[in-house]
Structure 1
Amino acid sequence: MADHIRIRRAEGVWTVRSGGAVLAESSNALELSEDGYPAIIYFPRGDIGMAFLERTDKVTTCPHKGQANYYSIMNRSATIENGAWTYENPTEAVAEIKDHVAFYATDEVTVERI
């Protein structure tokens, strides 16, 4: 793994909420810490209501994690464009985040430990 990236089990139960709905809840989330950035919680796909997510065409590349694909979050009151992302084929250094999705925490999306 890159020296500046650390992945560990996120302690406790984590949730994602948007538009009054619970999009994800997991006791199996991962916390990815990368020097210079806030820690990000990655949720296993099996713990996410994937019906709330719609794949977009957005793709970005990180030299340390690989190619990220994005989802818009669809809730009853809004669509949050590209509000979540995943590394479907991450680099070997961060292989643990495969089959996980992360969410941007905003005024419309909360990611928190409960």
Structure 2
Amino acid sequence: MADEHWVATEPSPRHVRAVFAGTTVADSKRVLLLRERGHVGVYYFPMDDVRMDLLVRTDKHTRCPYKGDASYWSVEVNGRRAENAVWAYEDPLSERVDIKGHVAFYWD
């Protein structure tokens, strides 16, 4: 019998920051931790706690059967760019509406 896939979110008690090129891009005490079978946990930051002025929307889109369609942004700071480093499910599947209005960052 195969194990079933699962996705779960929970509020994190941690104060989490995302920093790129020495600049804080996100800073929040209200992150959600999303755990998914077979994946490393991912922090989702409320957009209100993200320097959206440092993000540039890209044409990249992906689809997750458990969360929905993801849109991507690059981070630009002081002439440096991290391509497609940020993503969000702007209109997630009904099972994941908790991550609507949040963005996540690749660790690297």
CA distance in 2 between counterparts of 1:9 and 1:77 reads 34
Match of 1:27 in 2: 29
Are residues 1:70 and 2:89 paired?
no
Runs (5+) with no aligned partner, structure 1: 107-114
CA distance in 2 between counterparts of 1:35 and 1:12 reads 22
Which structure has the bigger radius of gyration?
Answer: 2
Q: Give the RMSD, CA atoms, in angstroms.
A: 1.2
Residue in structure 2 matching 1:13, options 12, 15, 18:
15
TM-score normalised by length of structure 2? 0.94
- Structure 1 contact 19–77 (Cα < 8 Å) conserved: no
CA distance in 1 between counterparts of 2:5 and 2:38 reads 13
Deviations 1:14-73 (A, max 9, x none): 100000100010011000000000000000000001011000000000011000000001
The runs of at least 4 consecutive aligned structure 1 residues that moved more than 4 Å come to: none
Higher relative contact order (CA 8 A, sep 6+): 1
CA distance in 1 between counterparts of 2:7 and 2:49 reads 24
Are residues 1:94 and 2:67 paired?
no
Give the paired residue count.
Answer: 105
